[in-house]
Every structure is written in structure tokens, then in C-alpha cells.
Structure 1
Amino acid sequence: MCKRICQIIKLKPTAEEEYKAIHAAVWPGVLAALERAHITDYSIHHYPPLQLLIATFKYTGSDYEGDMKKVGEDPETRRWWAVTDGMQESFVEGAQGSGKDIPWWTELQEVFRFDGKA
């Protein structure tokens, strides 16, 4: 079974160019950690009027929390977050960065889905 995830966070206006540039060439180790964690079809969209970043991905594993913990323990991912977190502002009160106890990105509730015909 596939779990779909949608998350949002605010992009600092001064970081827009740098954020897009770094995501044009995501570090291979970061992508490998996502793959090991059963994450597929990952995309991030930018909505400039509100400076929103909207991330969507599919999780195909069987232990979402455990796999996300492993991503957070990956050294290259932690280095990536040290760069990208500074470009973002969390909507979650008390959040201090990716991989911490309080989520950095806000996960959104799915209220509608249409899969169409197979």
C-alpha cells in the first residue's frame, strides 16, 4: 500500500534563488537516503505569492516513522538540512529544524483524492 504525504513550509524570500539552485542538483547521498526509506515520486513546488514550498511524495514501506527516523540519522541528509533549513521558516510552533522532535515541515491532511481508472 502507498501512503501519500503533502507538507508545507515557508521559503524565506531572500533564499529563493539559492533554494532553487541547490534543488536543481540534490546531493546523491540525500536521494539515496530517501530511496532507502521507500520514498518515491517526491516533488517540491513553490508558490511565490505566499512564499510557500509544497512537498508531495509517496511512501511505499511498512514503517513510516521508523524510515523517517533513519532518514534523520543519515549524515549527508543532516548536512543537507543544515543548509536548507536556514532558507525556510516553519509553521510549527517550537520547531527548531529538520530531524528534531517537533516536525519542521507541516504535514497536511488529505481531504480528496481521485485516482482515475487504472
Structure 2
Amino acid sequence: MSIPHTKRVCQLIKLKPEYETQYKEVHSAVWPGVLAALETHNVADYSIHYFPPLHLLIATFKYTGTGYDKDMKAIGEDPITQEWWKVTDMMQESFNDGATGSGKDIPWWTEVEEVFRMEGVLHR
């Protein structure tokens, strides 16, 4: 089933190697309030992948709303999400100079440019 969306987002951040096991453990049971905030603010099809050789976390999601900046700000103001970030931010290292954590003026995760997309299924 296809999810309608207005924007696809891909973000990167470095996972501190000593937190690999712990990071995977906390993400095996993401807090329901965090998931609810994402859903309420039009985030769908969210996933995080890990590339161990570079300690790289790669997050992708679809944004299905019409006010991306407003929704991202609202997620950042959610108290449960803020508590979640206190747990996860300490395990990460931002690529953005001056970033001090999620929900601040300088983005914690680095958003990357989409250079190719193929949608749908080819019919033969």
C-alpha cells in the first residue's frame, strides 16, 4: 500500500561505537508516546538503518502533511519526545558544527539531498 506524501526525508548521524548494543535495544521498543507524536505530526514509514563500518545511522521517513517546519517544531516540543532524546542523543555524534542535541536551533541529524527516486512498479 502506498502512503501519500509531500516529502521524503533522509538524515544521517554518527552512532558512538560504544553504544551500538544499547541503541539497538532502546529502538527495539520505542516509547509509544514518541511514536504517537510522529504519527500526530504527519510522519510515516520511518526507519533507521545502521552501517557499522562508518558507525553511521541513516534515518528515512515520509512526511504526509503540509506544514513540515511547523510539524517538526511540534515534535520537538513534545515532552515525551524530549525525554526520548535525552536517552538517545548521548549515544550519537552530530555531523553539524555547533549542534548540541535534538530539537535545538542547529539540527542534530543532518538532512541529505535526494538525488534519485523510482516510484511504483514496472509492468512488463
The interval holding the TM-score normalised by the smaller chain is over 0.9
Confirm or deny that 1:81 pairs with 2:85: yes
- Residue pairs, 1:1-80, within 5 angstroms: 1-80=5-84
CA distance in 2, matches of 1:18, 1:117: 37
1:33-56 deviations in Å (ceiling 9; x for gaps): 000110000000000000000000
Compute the RMSD of aligned alpha carbons. 1.0
Task: Please report the TM-score for the alignment, with normalisation by the length of structure 2.
Answer: 0.93
With normalisation by structure 1, the TM-score equals 0.98
Gaps of 5+ in 1: none
Q: How many residues align?
A: 118
**1:9-39 deviations in whole A, cap 9, x for unaligned?**
0000000000000000000000000001100
Give how far 1:107 is off.
0.2
Shift of 1:82: 0.5
